[in-house]
Structure 1
Amino acid sequence: MTMTSTLPPPAPPRRWTPARIAGHVFLAFWILLGLGITLGMAAGWDSSFLSTYGPRLLSGLGITLWLVFWSLLIGGLLSLPIAAGRLSNNRIFSSLAFAWVYFFRGTPLLAQAFLFYYGIGTFSPELEAIGLWWIFEEGLYAAVFIFSLNTSAYQAEILSGALRNVPRSQREACAALSLPRSITFLKVILPQAMIVALRPYGNEIILMIKGSAIASIITVLDLMGETRRAFSRTFDFEAYLWAAVLYLVMVEVIRRLWDMFEGRLTRHLVRRSDD
């Protein structure tokens, strides 16, 4: 017996709308601008710069990756109770979770860095008394603390939105089968929600990589911190060119790896026709 699956109709051919034409024009403009800057830099290329400051930029790159990794991990753990609060029917918990998300999503990360790094310094005696001053004494640990709080709000909103996206009928079906709530959540609800949340999570990783440059203002010698130090000593704009290249490489590698990861997890959603 030949079995066929209903496939969606093929996508209509793309038309050259004014918006699409404008997008291609702007893309061409930025490509030409980038080529012009690159050629201009190549005309006054200083081969000694890369040999002198290249290892330091790579060291800063490692600090950036370390900072982003731990911030995302700790922020992800913090986002779990916050997302639960956002979904809770308890007005106190839901209000506290809303206030957390509202503050960290509604204020600039730069302002949060200044607030927690420089502002909390006024409470150093109290923090030393309870053994927490070491977090803010070292700029790198303070950056992890600040970025973790910031990304926890975004990750909580991503997770709570994905959980809301799962149809109520899924829970009702599990209840009809007398499945425990824990099994329903872990085996049915959460896997479907994570598929919806994969793309926003990938975007959050990329945003964190780019936002990590703010750590350089609180004495962290990450990629941007090393770039600023190299520029302050040489006044060579090449430092920022190499920093831009390294950030582009990081973002592109993460994007491609995340696309592969997402494709692997959602491969069962691809509908095929079998004979």
Structure 2
Amino acid sequence: MIDIIQEYWKALLWSDGYRITGVAMTLWLLIISVVLGGCLAVLLAIARVSPNRFISLPVWLFTYVFRGTPLYVQLLVFYSGMYTLEVVKGTELLNAFFRSGLNCTLLAFTLNTCAYTTEIFAGAIRAVPHGEIEAARAYGFSTFKLYRCIILPSALRTALPVYSNEVILMLHSTALAFTATVPDLLKVARDINSATYQPFTAFGLAAVLYLIISYVLISLFRAAERRWLAHIAPH
């Protein structure tokens, strides 16, 4: 094991000398997909709770499709399927985008986590006490100000514990990136196994690194919950 660590520790953590690999690539995939998916989910969650069916129905359909199909299948569709379409091959920008395994992976991860996060945020918006909304309207708040000052801050705080679980699940989902030849942590572990024929050591090292990342993320979310949910914590 010591020999493997000495030889492959750089590849496991950040680079194989030519590209970003291992933990660095895994964190890159996680951060980009969670940030983009989370920002988009805020807007879609507002649309999801709209009483106007022409606004809420397309969002429901989007979340239904991406929550109702496996992420692995979605990744294969984007990485293997999209490039076979004539409209993609005939458009220079789309052609260049879908030729990249990293782009396809980020797109699949972003849309998948966006779908789950949209439903999480929409549920939290519905849980905002009706009295707070009526009080704000009585003070003359516009719809924009109502969401900015009352609904979204309350909903995002309420959604924090559930959203932390989604981020951890997204971390685990990044292990599928090797399907699109992206050199994430699992891809490096698979390469180590192929080179050394020591699967316990190769995948055991990957498991330990995933556990460390998970521990750091959980600690950060717990600190955020203590900061922003202190008013509902038991005393």
Asked whether the equivalents of residues 170 and 188 of structure 1 are also in contact (C-alpha less than 8 Å), the reply is: yes
- Note the C-alpha offset of 1:96: 0.9
Kindly provide the CA deviation profile for residues 45-73 of structure 1, in whole angstroms up to 9, marking residues without a partner as x: x4211111111111210000001000011
Asked whether the equivalents of residues 112 and 146 of structure 1 are also in contact (C-alpha less than 8 Å), the reply is: yes
**Match status 1:113 vs 2:75:** yes
SS of 1:114's equivalent in the other structure is helix
Query: What is the match of residue 214 of structure 1?
Result: 176
Asked whether the equivalents of residues 57 and 226 of structure 1 are also in contact (C-alpha less than 8 Å), the reply is: yes
Equivalent of 1:84, from 46, 59, 79?
Answer: 46
AA in 1 matched with 2:223 = M
Query: What is the match of residue 229 of structure 2?
Result: 266
**Match status 1:94 vs 2:56:** yes
- Note the C-alpha offset of 1:128: 5.2
Within 5 A, what are the aligned runs for 1:21-100? 46-59=1-14, 60-100=22-62
Distance 2:97 2:42 in 1: 23
**Match status 1:252 vs 2:207:** no
Query: What is the match of residue 106 of structure 2?
Result: 144
Kindly provide the CA deviation profile for residues 125-145 of structure 1, in whole angstroms up to 9, marking residues without a partner as x: 635525122322111121111
Query: What is the match of residue 206 of structure 2?
Result: 243
Asked whether the equivalents of residues 82 and 88 of structure 2 are also in contact (C-alpha less than 8 Å), the reply is: no
**Match status 1:180 vs 2:137:** no
Query: What is the match of residue 17 of structure 2?
Result: none
**Match status 1:162 vs 2:117:** no
User: Unaligned regions of 5+ residues in structure 1, if any?
Assistant: 1-45
Asked whether the equivalents of residues 104 and 150 of structure 1 are also in contact (C-alpha less than 8 Å), the reply is: yes
Distance 1:249 1:124 in 2: 44
Distance of aligned partners of 1:177 and 1:77 in 2 relative to their CA distance in 1, 3 Å threshold: same
- Residue correspondences, number: 227
Asked whether the equivalents of residues 206 and 254 of structure 1 are also in contact (C-alpha less than 8 Å), the reply is: yes
AA in 2 matched with 1:47 = I
Query: What is the match of residue 96 of structure 2?
Result: 134
Distance 2:104 2:61 in 1: 22
**Match status 1:198 vs 2:164:** no
- Note the C-alpha offset of 1:181: 2.3
Distance 1:208 1:271 in 2: 29
Task: Name the stretch that deviates more: 197-206 or 124-133.
Answer: 124-133
Distance 1:174 1:251 in 2: 39
Distance 2:89 2:217 in 1: 37
Distance of aligned partners of 1:189 and 1:84 in 2 relative to their CA distance in 1, 3 Å threshold: closer
Distance 2:152 2:88 in 1: 41
Question: Larger Rg: 1 or 2?
Answer: 1
Asked whether the equivalents of residues 164 and 221 of structure 2 are also in contact (C-alpha less than 8 Å), the reply is: yes
Asked whether the equivalents of residues 124 and 133 of structure 1 are also in contact (C-alpha less than 8 Å), the reply is: no
Kindly provide the CA deviation profile for residues 143-199 of structure 1, in whole angstroms up to 9, marking residues without a partner as x: 111100101101100110000001222111111122222222211111111111001
Within 5 A, what are the aligned runs for 1:6-25? none
- Note the C-alpha offset of 1:80: 2.7
Distance of aligned partners of 1:55 and 1:271 in 2 relative to their CA distance in 1, 3 Å threshold: closer
Asked whether the equivalents of residues 85 and 96 of structure 1 are also in contact (C-alpha less than 8 Å), the reply is: no
CA RMSD of aligned residues (A): 1.6
- Note the C-alpha offset of 1:266: 2.0
Distance 1:257 1:143 in 2: 25
Distance of aligned partners of 1:248 and 1:103 in 2 relative to their CA distance in 1, 3 Å threshold: same
Higher RCO, Cα 8 Å, sep 6+: 1
